Amino acid sequence: MDDKDRQIIRALQRDGRMSNQDLAAQVHLSPSPCLRRVRNLEKAGVIRGYAARVDARAYGLPITAFVRIRLERHDETTVQTFERAVAGMEEVLECHVMTGQTDYQLRVATASLDAYEAFIRARLQRIGGIGSIDTSFAYGVVKDSPVFPAG
């Protein structure tokens, strides 16, 4: 991947609906080579797809929780069971493997605090093998950028 590919990616991260003509003009390429580069980035899996960015509050999910999970054990079965279960939970928007005292950090979206409690009690705690769950609720957003840094 070269700098031109990165320019294309950043432009599409800003506006994934722009036409190839507009994209080509923005990154200073003619349309055919620009489209070829986009298709190559898609085939290589660098561009994984296109999606609408939606305001969670307007959608009806005003509660964003960051949930830190520590597992009781780190054997293959416990880890696979946890990861498989979390991957199937629609409330979990992101799940990151972490260094330090926390094994995983989840970003969870729910409609209410009651819905969050139900998620924890009925879904997350039932996975088993969890040593601790620590939650922080976001009460505002300072920055939420889909665009990677240029460097």
DSSP state of 73: -
For the domain made up of 56-138, the CATH class stated in words is alpha beta
- Give the H or E element holding residue 37: helix 31-43
CATH number at 3-43:
1.10.10.10
- In order along its 151 residues, the chain shows pLDDT tens digits of 999 999 999 999 999 999 999 999 999 999 999 999 999 999 999 999 999 999 999 999 999 999 999 999 999 999 999 999 999 999 999 999 999 999 999 999 999 999 999 999 999 999 999 999 999 999 999 999 999 998 7
CB atoms inside a 10 Å sphere around CB 40: 13
Give domain limits for the chain: 3-43, 56-138
